[in-house]
A and B are shown apart, each in its own frame.
Chain A
Amino acid sequence: MTPLLQVKGIEKHYGARIGCSDVSFDLYPGEVMGIVGESGSGKSTLLNCLAGHLEPDAGQVIFDTRADGPADTVTMSEPERRMLSRTDWAFVHQHARDGLRMSVSAGGNIGERLMAVGDRHYGTIRDRAIDWLGRVEIDETRVDDRPSVFSGGMQQRLQIARNLVTGPRLVFMDEPTGGLDVSVQARLLDLLRGLVREMGLSAVIVTHDLAVVRLLADRLMVMKDGRVVEAGLTDQVLDDPQHAYTQLLVSSVLQV
Chain B
Amino acid sequence: MNEYNFAYLDEQTKRMIRRAILKGLAVPGYQVPFASREMPMPYGWGTGGVQVSAATLMPEDTLKVIDQGADDTTNAVSIRKFFENTAGVETTEETEKATIIQTRHRIPEAKLREDQIIVYQVPIPEPLRFLEPRETETRKMHSLEEYGLMHVKLYEDISQHGAISTAYAYPVKVSDRYVMDPSPIPKFDNPKLEMDAIQLFGAGREQRIYAVPPHTKVVSLDFEDYPFEATKAAHPCDLCGSDDSYLDEVIMDDAGNRMFVCSDTDFCRSRRKAGHKGRLAEENAA
Contact = CB atoms under 8 A, between A and B. Distances in A.
A and B touch in the complex (CB under 8 A): yes
Interface in B133-162: 140, 144, 146-149, 151-152, 155-156, 158-160
A117 B144 CA distance: 13
Contacts of A78: 140, 144
Interface stretch (A108-116, A152-160, A218-226): A108-116
Contact of A103 (B131, B147, B148): B131
A69 interface: no
Nearest to A101: B131
A144 to B, nearest CB: 5
B57 to A, nearest CB: 40
Interface residues of A, number: 25
Interface stretch (A15-23, A120-128, A203-211): A120-128
B224 interface: yes
Interface in B215-237: 222-226
A107 interface: yes
B211 to A, nearest CB: 25
Contact of A116 (B148, B222, B224): B148
A117 B157 CA distance: 20
A120 B159 contact: no
Contacts of A186: none
A105 B159 contact: yes
Given A112-B149, A126-B159, A121 B223 contact: yes
B225 A121 contact: yes
Contact of A113 (B144, B148, B226): B148
A112 B222 CA distance: 15
Interface string A54-65: 000000000000
Contact of A111 (B140, B152, B224): B152
Interface residues of B, number: 19
Given A107-B159, A108-B159, A126-B159, A101 B225 contact: no
Nearest to A144: B159
Contacts of B131: 101, 103-104
Contacts of B140: 78
Contacts of A79: 144
A108 B155 CA distance: 6
A13 interface: no
B155 A111 contact: yes
Interface in B152-202: 152, 155-156, 158-160
26 contacts: A78-B144, A86-B148, A101-B131, A103-B131, A105-B156, A105-B159, A107-B155, A107-B159, A108-B159, A111-B152, A111-B155, A112-B149, A112-B152, A114-B148, A115-B148, A116-B146, A120-B222, A121-B223, A121-B225, A122-B158, A122-B223, A122-B225, A122-B226, A126-B155, A143-B159, A144-B159
Given A122-B158, A126-B155, 10 more contacts: A82-B144, A104-B152, A104-B156, A111-B152, A112-B152, A115-B148, A115-B152, A115-B155, A122-B155, A125-B155
Interface of B: 131, 140, 144, 146-149, 151-152, 155-156, 158-160, 222-226
Q: Which 5 A-B pairs have the closest CB atoms?
A: A116-B148, A115-B151, A122-B223, A115-B148, A121-B224
